[in-house]
Amino acid sequence: MTTTAVLITGTSSGIGRTAAEHLVRRPGLTVYATARRTEAVADLAAAGARVLPLDVTDEESMRAAVKAVEEEHGHVGVLVNNAGYGEYGTIEETGLDGVRRQFETNVFGLARMTQLVLPAMRAAGSGRIINVGSMGGRLVFPVGGYYHASKYAVEAITDALRFETAPFGIKVSLIEPGLIRTGFGAVAARTQASSSAPEGPYAALVSANEEQMRTSYDSTLLSAPPQTVAKAVEHAATARRPRTRYVVTPAAKALVHTRRLLGARTFDAYLKLQYRGAV
């Protein structure tokens, strides 16, 4: 890298916060931690990060954040597109306004931040873009279809971007976490509860999914702390030859490979066992 500036979106909690905490301790990097409310990341400033306001659903906010980094460093050395959340609920019952808001953050915000940093990266002949996707971009669980759709979109954007930008010295990586013990599960459960009718046709499935999510996130075998993702982000940001994809957690690797190798019919059979009595 010719610049050490690392711009991370969505650092107020979860993976983004942990990645900022992790990278700020690495000598030579200048970490820009961003959030819609800068007071939410004041402790990151105290730890040595530069703090910027950033809302990835607001054009002026995105432009201002990128401009601030470029004015000091010439170009963003590493963009970590991390901001995102899960809007859960069945396909029939989930309100499309909520789905649109999720895509604005998970997909269009990521795409626009990428567009904004690329001209200066190309001019410099270097740069890295790290998109935080999910194992949910490689396989689908019920009651999360719209969230999975947003992460499938991130997969497609990342694959295209990697080829398009390679001639300009820009490296692109995709982080695909499995279940990570952050506030994500609580947000997903809250949106799921608000989108589904308690006595509706999918009540049994939604109830089973709530239980699946709760037990899975509580399991140290199936989930992992956010530090595991932060280490993958660090490797993608600093390694001479970063990987194309980083599937994070052993459980995620097993599920992704099982779905890929055994196909939809077998994976559906696995889901029926997991949701026994509800499907």
Go through the domains of the chain in sequence order and give each one's CATH number: 5-274 (3.40.50.720)
Active site residues: 147
Burial class of residue 248 in the structure, from the number of CB atoms within 10 Å of its CB (0-12 exposed, 13-18 middle, 19+ buried): buried
The two three-digit tokens of residue 165, written as one number: 């930008």
Blockwise average pLDDT, block size 10, the chain, 279 residues: 84 97 96 96 96 98 98 98 95 95 98 98 98 97 96 98 98 97 76 76 91 90 95 97 97 94 91 82
CB 215 within 8 A of CB 172: no
Q: d(Cα 115, Cα 117) in Å, to the nearest integer?
A: 6
Report pLDDT for 155. 98
* Angle at CA of residue 133, ends 132 and 139, nearest 5°: 160
CB 231 within 8 A of CB 22: yes
Helix (H) or strand (E) holding 19: helix 14-23
Phi, psi of 190 (to 5 degrees): -65, -45
CB 34 within 8 A of CB 10: yes
Report pLDDT for 202. 93
Which pTM was predicted?
0.94
**Among candidates 54, 55, 8, 68, which has minimal Cα distance to 32?**
8
Q: d(Cα 245, Cα 108) in Å, to the nearest integer?
A: 21
Q: d(Cα 159, Cα 131) in Å, to the nearest integer?
A: 11
How do 170-177 and 127-132 pair as beta strands? Answer: parallel
